[in-house]
Structure formats: C-alpha cells, structure tokens
Amino acid sequence: MRHRPLLFSVDALGLETWRSDRNGIARLARFAPGEHAAFATWLAGRRRGEACRMVVNFADESYEAEDLPRVRGADRRALHGRRLGAWFPHPAFARAQVLGPAGADAHLEHVLFSGLNRPEQLAPWLEAVHSAGLRLERVVPAAQLVAHLAPPSATPSAARLLVVFTRAGMRICEVHGKALHFSRLVGQCTLASARHGTQWVDEIGLTRSYILARGRIGADAALEATVLTPPGALTPADEAQARPGAASPPIHIAFPAPFAALRTCDEEGAPLTDGEFSGVLLHGLSSAPAALGWPPGSPAGAGQRHPTRRRTATLAAALALAGLALGAHPWWSAGQGAVDTAALPPPPGTAPNPSPLSPADSDTAPPATLPIMPPAETTAPTPPRRIDGILRRPDGRDFIWLDGRLLELDETALALAPGPSPSLTPRGAQRLRLHPGDYWPPADPGAATPPPGEPPDTLRIRIHVHRGEGR
C-alpha cells in the first residue's frame, strides 16, 4: 500500500504541515516565520525517509520569456542553463519551460523562465527537512499548481486569468490551456478584504493591462478572469462589483464540483470553510506529476545539500589542495639538498675536491648581509559593480540587479531617469546616464563605461532590461 506523502505549505506567513486522505486534507501543525527550530523539533518525531512534498507561495518571483533557437538534447540544456543563470541569481530555484514555436519562425521556440528572486525565506525550511532525513519528492510553486488544476475552458487554447485566494493573498495567473505564462501574488488582497472592498477588482484590471502591454498576445484578446472560490465566499454585491464596465471583460465566479467536495479540517478536526483555495492546492500537490516544480535534485540536492555531505565534500577538497601543494614544492628545506650531497663519499677513482677556504684564510671579506624589507601593503581598490538590469514592478516599486543582487532602487544612490528607454541617473549628477551593462560607480566620472582594462564586447554581449513580471 502506498503511503500518502506529508505536505508542506510555505509562504510569507510561515509553514503549515498537512496530511491528505481519500476525503480531503487535515492540518497537522503551524509554524510562524522564524520558527525553524520548532519545525526541526517537530520533524524529529517523523520517520526518517518519509516522503514529503512542498508548495511555495511567495510574491518575490519573476517570469521572463524569450524566443530562443530551437535545439535539442545537451545543446538545449546548456542554452537554458545559461539563460537561467542570467535571469536568476539562484538557478536551483528556477526552471525553463518550452511553450511552443515562436510565431511563424520554425527555427525559434518560445521559452518561459520562472523562479524565485530571493529564496532566503525558503532555504531554512528546506534545510530542516533535509536535516531530519525526510525524502523531499516535489517543491512546486503555487502558480504552477493553479495552472495544473485549471478547470476546462470552452476555448482550450485561449488565454485567460485564473484568480485564487490563499492565506498569503490573491494570486492571479495567466494560463493558456494548462500552461502557465505569468503570475503575481497581491499580498494585501485577501478573501476577507475582498468581501468589503473592490481593490481586488482593480488589481485584476491592472494585471490584465500589464499582460496586454507586453505584446505577447493580441491587444484585442478578451483575457477573461475567473475567480475560483465557493459561491458563498463572495456575496452577490461583490459579484456585481466584479463587472467594472463594458470596456473590460466580466469577472466570473466559479468553483468546480471536485473542489467543492473536498473536505478541509484543522488540527482538531473542525472543518475549514473560509473559502480559500489553499486546501485545493495541497490536495493537488499530493498527486502532482513529476514535471511540475523545480527540477529534481536542484533545491533538495544541489541547492541545499545535507550538512554531512557538505562536510565530506569540504574535506575531500582540502585533501586535494594539500596534495597539489605538496606536489608543487620540494620535500626538503632550502639548503638541505646541498648538505646531503656533501655528506656522501666521492666515487672511487676521483680526486677529492679542495676544501673551501675559511673566512680567516680568504683575502676577500664576506658579503654584507642586507636586511630583508617586508613588502609594502597594497590595498586593491573596490571594483565597480555591474548593473545587470532594471526591474519595474506593476505596483510601482523599482529594483535593479547589481552584481547579481536584487536591490530596491530607494536603497541605492540611483534614480530612474526620464526618457523612452529605461536608464538610471545618480542623485546629484542628473546629466549622467547609466544603462544595463554599465558599472556603478563608473570608472570615468564623465561617462558610464566599463573599466579601462576590459576588452570591448566581452561582457556587453547581453543587455537585458528586467521588467516587472510576476510580483
């Protein structure tokens, strides 16, 4: 008999553990942000090797699409790996998905790169799972589960918006059939706030306008929105407000029968009737295929290895370096070889070498001993940091990639410069313009160029502007 896996749900509010059965799912425990030690203690009571799965629902994620040459096998894996490394600082928490041919060009294919920008919130929970010896089968973003559980549509290939409410906020997903193209999590829009306001309707309209402005689908596409929630979760007045006007498509309220039949209960066995979609996501996670989520072994293996394996790898590397160091230098101290050679008897039949003159018998004075001066300490100047991209989010917050780190623009001494193309300008030097690929601070205060020693067109091959997708 196959045992059902243990289920974890991770978001900005912490971690929840669940167990699924034939009729639904039941919550086992809850842990607030930072309670990693308590979670590790709870896992100590579980059986080692127990199968588990995890759904991740964070707002700090990105969705970047590119049209790349159509290649196969190792060439495709290498190409996608390079692009993942260019878009995300932690490629272990990202994936590449081929969405199909890029228009009429048979030599190009449309590839979606999605992943977490800052997996630091997820890493401690993963480390606790690995340290407890549990077998992590899947780590799946919530948006991929929403697309996988999407109900059938009258036009399967048409683009549509699926909206679900979770405890972390409202998630809006652009879905084409069963393929996810874009998603964002609005933390301030919960199901409780949706019952008393219309901000969630405005956020759906903002997301729809943003998707159409990217130009990936036709500007005249309907892009209708469907909120997956029980009929009683939103009042009829809210449904009337969900139709902002004739210019925008209506927002439908739907909840398929399989979702409605699912039973969700808390630690005491009391049913949960809050109308959130979290229970459906977790139930879908228990039967999710292996194709969903990050590649097997990336976050659970290469990205977050067991401490014992890390120590073994570190020890092996240290031994290898020690062997190289011993092999690169003589095994005796300076002058020891000459002393050992002098101590050997001369070969038979050879005349003995004359004894060297002592300092007393020599006519020349010994050379003076020069003091050895220690080398002067030199401090290398701090190299300028490369601006890898500019990220503008739909909510108005701006970020930049600086040497692989995602920083909010307000935390730096830079500001967005007015103009048709995204560029930056230092505060106090409004005439200077910095673009993706430049360095900050620039080597030459009068122009934003790479350092003088860098050959042209070596690090300037890729110039991408990170646009605010998927927050």
**Residues 347-367: what's their mean pLDDT?**
47
What does the domain layout of the chain look like in residue ranges? 1-59+118-143+282-303, 61-116, 152-255, 384-471
CATH architecture of 1-59+118-143+282-303: 2-Layer Sandwich (3.30)
- The whole-number average pLDDT for the span 163-176 is 94
User: 338 vs 87, which has greater pLDDT?
Assistant: 87
Asked whether this chain's domains 61-116 and 152-255 adopt the same fold, the reply is no
Q: Mean of the per-residue pLDDT values for the chain?
A: 76
Taking only the tens place, the pLDDT of each residue in 71-111 is 888 999 999 999 988 888 888 899 999 988 887 777 899 89
Instruction: Give residue 461's pLDDT.
Output: 36
> Are 252 and 225 within 8 A, CB to CB?
yes
Architecture of domain 152-255: 2-Layer Sandwich (3.30)
User: Residue 444 pLDDT > 80, yes or no?
Assistant: no
* Confidence at residue 276, expressed as pLDDT on a 0 to 100 scale: 87
Confidence of residue 420 (pLDDT cuts 50, 70, 90): low
The pLDDT of residue 234 is 77
Residue range 289-336, pLDDT digits in tens: 888 888 755 544 433 444 444 455 566 666 666 666 555 544 444 444
- The whole-number pLDDT of residue 160 equals 92
pLDDT at 217 over 50: yes
Q: How far apart are CA 307 and CA 126, in angstroms?
A: 12
Tokens of 157: 């290939």
Contacts of 122 (CB under 8 A, 6+ apart): 10, 56, 58, 93, 116, 299
Tokens of 49: 């090797």
The class of domain 61-116 in CATH terms is: alpha beta
Alpha helices (H) in 45-148, listed in sequence order: 73-87, 123-131, 142-148
Residue 51 is predicted with a pLDDT of 94
With 0-12 CB in 10 A as exposed, 13-18 as middle and 19+ as buried, what is 23?
A: exposed
